[in-house]
Amino acid sequence: MHNKPVALVTGANKGIGLQVAKDLARHGFTVLLGSRRFEAGEKVIHGVAPHARTIQLDVTDSASIAQAAARIRETYGRLDVLVNNAGVGHGGAAGRSNAQIVTETRMSVVKLDELRTVFATNVFGVLAVTQAMLPLLRAAPAAKIINISSSTGSLTLNSDSSNPLRQYASAYTTSKSALNAITQALAIELEGTKIKVHAVCPGLTATDMSEYGGPVEDAAREPVRVALLGSHSPTGTFSNAQGTLPW
Ligand code: NDP
């Protein structure tokens, strides 16, 4: 029987996911660092914790997801925290600036194939991983699903004409709106169970996804805070470091 709580972070070989993995390890979790490129995970795993493990996991590949779930079941028999962090900002040509990506992926012009690619990771990937991990989450004494979303996906905030962020509405932000809807629907479905479901916005962060923003150390704070909440904490929340966000 494995005594430490077990956390899986998807897309954790770099960026915000890697920092969340490091912080959860520091708080006593056995961290499974999900990476679609196993070797990229292995390159950074020693900086996470001695007992952390890389797990090959492409969230758009059902065989990879099934293998990861089987491996966790065999080794640990349960999962205490699932952080659905893997995400993409676009699904088209590399090398575009953030401004270009927004312009080219607005709803009036976005190529449906590009929209499908963004949703494949940010929406269907999250749901596929979550469904595969649910039996393991049910086997934990208390479990949390934390979906890394964005305040730019908030339909309420985007309805406010004074909100400057609404100008970035694009493939990416609509995928986060869909992710929020799924988060809320799952939280409602699992109400009264041991599994809490949350959406968290890490805030604008300088990573390979974004040219601008704060450090990953700041971005990891809210997801980690939510992961550490006690088993009697509320479910179905959407928050950032400043507090509750409206759906
Ligand atoms: P990065 O681009 O630095 O990291 C993204 C991670 O996701 C990488 O590890 C990448 O793997 C992985 N990934 C992408 N597609 C897949 C896939 N199909 N299967 C498994 N892993 C995959 O981005 P961030 O760290 O900035 O983003 C992390 C999360 O935070 C995302 O969900 C993003 O939407 C969200 N977010 C980011 C903000 C920001 O300002 N940066 C703001 C709000 C939310 P690989 O290395 O192989 O490409």
Model confidence pLDDT, tens digit, residues 167-195? 999 999 999 999 999 999 999 999 999 99
Ligand 1 pocket by C-beta < 6 Å: which residues? 10-11, 13-17, 36-37, 40, 57-60, 85-88, 121, 125, 148, 150, 201-202, 204-205, 207-210, 213
Which residues 6+ apart lie within 8 Å of 193 measured at CB?
Answer: 138
Q: Tell me whether residue 1 is in a domain.
A: no
CATH of the domain at 30: 3.40.50.720
Residues 180, 186, 191, 194: what is their CA dihedral angle, to the nearest 10 degrees?
-110
Q: Which residues contact 63 (CB under 8 A, 6 or more apart)?
A: none
The pTM assigned to this predicted structure is 0.98
Over range 70-90, report the average pLDDT.
98
CA atoms in the 13 A half-sphere facing the CB of 213: 18
Closest alpha carbon to 6 in 193, 143, 134: 143
* 91 lies in some domain: yes
Identify whether 96 is part of a domain.
yes
The whole-angstrom separation of Cα 65 and Cα 51 is 22
In a domain, 30, yes or no: yes
List the catalytic residue out of 76, 168, 172, 212: 172
Domain count, the chain: 1
Segments forming the whole domain that contains residue 171: 6-244
